[in-house]
Amino acid sequence: MVLVILVTGDEEKLKDRNNQLPFDVDESMLRAAGVKYFEVMQNRGEVLFVPSGWHHQVYNMVRLRCCSAAYNVIEASVIESN
């Protein structure tokens, strides 16, 4: 599986005139827009943490059964203490 992870904030460069992000992106689109990104090859049995707010695109390289889990986490820095 290949993941393309956009550096947070750079997804703004991909928005259209209606302020919408594209459904699917490829490397040529990212390069043309000047988007900073990471390309990660994930192998069987590996786990990858994608930080909150980092947009990403996933490409399965072969037909496999795979599992995806997403959890929303509240960072301690945003919780007010009494």
Structure confidence at residue 65 (pLDDT): 67
Cα separation of the two ends of the chain? 45
Question: CA-CA distance, 39 to 12, in Å (whole number)?
Answer: 19
Which residues, 6 or more positions from 46, have their beta carbon under 8 angstroms from its beta carbon?
Answer: none
Owning domain of residue 40: 2-78
Look at the chain and report how many structural domains it folds into.
1
Q: Could you list the pLDDT tens digit for every one of the 82 residues in the chain?
A: 677 788 888 889 989 999 998 888 888 888 999 988 888 888 878 888 877 778 777 777 777 666 666 666 666 666 666 6
